[in-house]
């Protein structure tokens, strides 16, 4: 296989940026493709091609300039990835992975076929499907667009058939998945990396708190039974092998109040809930991705400290982040900002990791929350 010197990244968001920072540290040349000029990744990459994800000419240009191509979010155009593959450019993870993970129905069916538990679900395309799903699955439920959703977008909770009908109408013809709303004890995720030699490494299970569908806080390691954690890591390995993913990926799970472990989502890329690996492991999820796609050995992760990761979201009240100096008086905090100019409400603008000695307890969580409360978006 040709030695990799240049890595192409489709998508220029913060995941691409943190990937590029690690790739650059390891000596690679990075080219990203994103429609937005000066994208978060474009600011640190060597080159950015400014073009739409489905601009096949630009995608081919990315292929020509790169020895291997990857992507940093999964809602990119699968046609572009297939196009690169048809021209024998090396794209990883391959389009078969996107085919499954871009479609919530295929994803959940894949999990079931692999012997993994999920919430009960059904495909809903019209009022007839909806009535059937309401009868067989029941309420409370959540309806989601089958494709294109992220950060809680394209989702509607429903406690009754009337609310579900309103969701069907709001979806305006987009195919939906009807899911039973799980009664959650907590949500966890496993970041894992698989190489082309079928090595798999998995990070400690992370525990995630969401606010209205967007990740707010990750605690690592998760405060769950070792037996459930082991099952989650095993399930993540099953997913990586089953889809033949080469690279870093994330599997999100629900832990129900009854103690069941249910697969929720698969992200075929580094993930927000794995940001903590940058600061408290010897090899981050991003470096691990570089290693996998460049055919280097993977590193079994070592957790050097426990961590709490807090997302810093925009609030729409200004584009200047006040309070960072105050935050940095705490030496256990590491700040990461993504270089986005506009702090639109609920946009992911940055995060910080708090290093925690000993178990993450309520006092540590309160410290992290107090630290987050020091930050304010202001106009300057």
Q: Is the dihedral of CA 201, 204, 208, 214 positive or negative?
A: negative
Distance CA 328, CA 136 (A): 53
Tell me which DSSP letter residue 38 carries: T
Q: With respect to ligand ADP, which residue has the nearer C-beta, 264 or 285?
A: 264
From the list 80, 116, 123, the residue with the least C-alpha distance to 266 is: 116
CB atoms within 10 A of CB 237: 18
Our finding on whether 218 is near ligand ADP (CB under 6 A) is no
By CB under 6 A, name the one of 35, 175, 213, 242 that touches ligand ADP: 213
What minimum distance in Å lies between the beta carbon of 312 and ligand ADP? 18
What minimum distance in Å lies between the beta carbon of 328 and ligand ADP? 30
Our finding on whether 22 is near ligand ADP (CB under 6 A) is no
Contact (Cβ atoms closer than 8 angstroms) between residue 239 and residue 251: yes
**Segment interacting with Mg ion (CB under 5 A) among 76-84, 98-106, 192-200, 265-273:** 265-273
Query: Binds 323, which of Mg ion, ligand ADP, none (CB < 5 to 8 A, cut-off by type)?
Result: none
By CB under 6 A, name the one of 165, 210, 231, 347 that touches ligand ADP: 210
**Segment interacting with Mg ion (CB under 5 A) among 18-26, 262-270, 299-307, 337-345:** 262-270
What minimum distance in Å lies between the beta carbon of 28 and ligand ADP? 29
Residues 258-317 that bind ligand ADP (CB under 6 A): 264-265
Alpha helices in the chain, H assignment, sequence order: 14-25, 56-65, 78-86, 95-101, 104-113, 127-136, 161-170, 226-243, 276-280, 285-293, 324-327, 362-373
Our finding on whether 179 is near ligand ADP (CB under 6 A) is yes
Q: With respect to Mg ion, which residue has the nearer C-beta, 74 or 265?
A: 265
* Angle made by CA atoms 224, 19, 359, in degrees to the nearest 5: 25
Our finding on whether 337 is near ligand ADP (CB under 6 A) is no
Phi, psi (deg, nearest 5) at residue 107: -65, -45
Our finding on whether 265 is near Mg ion (CB under 5 A) is yes
**Segment interacting with Mg ion (CB under 5 A) among 109-117, 128-136, 259-267, 319-327:** 259-267
By CB under 6 A, name the one of 109, 114, 131, 150 that touches ligand ADP: 150
Structure tokens at 137: 């699955």
Residue 84 region by backbone torsions, left for phi larger than 0, else alpha for psi between -120 and 50, else beta = alpha
Q: With respect to Mg ion, which residue has the nearer C-beta, 77 or 265?
A: 265
Task: Give 223's strand partners.
Answer: none
**Segment interacting with ligand ADP (CB under 6 A) among 24-32, 87-95, 145-153, 283-291:** 145-153
């Amino acid at each position: 296989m040709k030695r990799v010197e240049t890595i192409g990244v489709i998508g220029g968001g913060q995941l691409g940026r943190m990937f590029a920072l690690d790739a650059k540290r390891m000596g690679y040349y990075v080219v990203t493709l994103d429609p937005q000029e000066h994208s978060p990744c474009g600011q640190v990459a060597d080159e950015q091609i400014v073009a739409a994800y489905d601009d096949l000419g630009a995608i081919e240009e990315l292929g020509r300039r790169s020895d291997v191509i990857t992507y940093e979010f999964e809602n990119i155009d699968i046609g572009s990835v297939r196009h690169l593959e048809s021209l024998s450019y090396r794209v990883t993870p391959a389009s078969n992975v996107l085919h499954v993970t871009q479609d919530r129905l295929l994803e959940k069916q894949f999990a079931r076929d692999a012997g993994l538990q999920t919430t009960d679900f059904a495909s809903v395309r019209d009022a007839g499907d909806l009535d059937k799903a309401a009868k067989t699955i029941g309420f409370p439920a959540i309806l989601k667009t089958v494709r294109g959703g992220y950060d809680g977008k394209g989702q509607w909770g429903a406690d009754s058939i009337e609310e579900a009908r309103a969701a069907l109408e709001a979806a305006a013809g987009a195919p939906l998945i009807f899911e039973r709303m799980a009664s959650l004890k907590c949500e966890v995720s496993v970041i894992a990396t698989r190489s082309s030699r079928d090595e798999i490494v998995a990070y400690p299970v992370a525990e995630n708190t969401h606010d209205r569908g967007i990740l707010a806080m990750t605690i690592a390691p998760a405060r769950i039974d070792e037996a459930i954690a082991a099952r989650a890591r095993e399930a993540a390995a099953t997913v990586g092998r089953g889809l033949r993913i080469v690279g870093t990926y994330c599997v999100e799970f629900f832990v129900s109040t009854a103690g069941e472990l249910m697969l929720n989502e698969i992200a075929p890329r580094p993930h927000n809930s794995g940001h903590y690996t940058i600061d408290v492991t010897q090899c981050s999820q991003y470096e691990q991705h570089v290693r996998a796609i460049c055919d280097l050995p993977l590193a079994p992760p070592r957790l050097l400290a426990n961590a709490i990761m807090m997302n810093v979201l925009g609030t729409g009240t200004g584009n200047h982040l006040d309070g960072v100096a105050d935050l940095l008086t705490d030496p256990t905090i590491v700040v990461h900002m993504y270089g986005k100019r506009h702090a639109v409400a609920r946009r992911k603008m940055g995060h910080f990791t708090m290093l925690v000695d000993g178990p993450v307890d309520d006092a540590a969580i309160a410290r992290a929350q107090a630290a987050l409360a020091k930050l304010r978006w202001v106009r300057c």
